[in-house]
């Protein structure tokens, strides 16, 4: 099955991917700033027990998930597009009978 995407579809797909990547970069920057702030607060107010790694770990899981969705599994919408196209083909074949 050949995939025919119009220029507008390709531009929209590229725009979504760029937005996802920029969204991750913003998320990562905020994560770094906030975790650094928490580490400084922890060490200035109570240098004994280091509690700041716990929020870093919890939030870090979300950052990793965001990274994977934006940079590794980029074509997340492709599965939906593929399934839609298959279903439309199936419906078209049924209509021709």
Output the pLDDT for position 1: 44
CA–CA separation, 90 and 54 (whole Å): 50
Average pLDDT taken over every residue of the chain: 86
pTM of the model: 0.69
Mean pLDDT of 43-71: 93
Domain range list for the chain: 7-96
What digits encode the pLDDT tens for the residues 60-93?
A: 999 999 999 888 887 656 666 677 777 888 888 8
Q: Quick check: 24 and 71 in contact, CB under 8 A?
A: yes
């Amino acid at each position: 099955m050949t995939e025919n995407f119009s220029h507008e579809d390709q531009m929209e797909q590229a725009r979504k991917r760029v937005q996802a990547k920029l969204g991750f970069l913003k998320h990562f920057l905020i994560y770094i700033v906030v975790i650094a702030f928490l580490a400084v607060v922890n060490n200035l107010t109570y240098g004994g027990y280091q509690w700041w790694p716990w929020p870093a770990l919890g939030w870090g899981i979300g950052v990793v998930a965001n990274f994977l969705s934006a940079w590794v599994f980029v074509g997340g919408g492709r599965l939906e597009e593929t399934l839609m196209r298959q279903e439309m083909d199936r419906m078209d074949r049924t209509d021709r009978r």
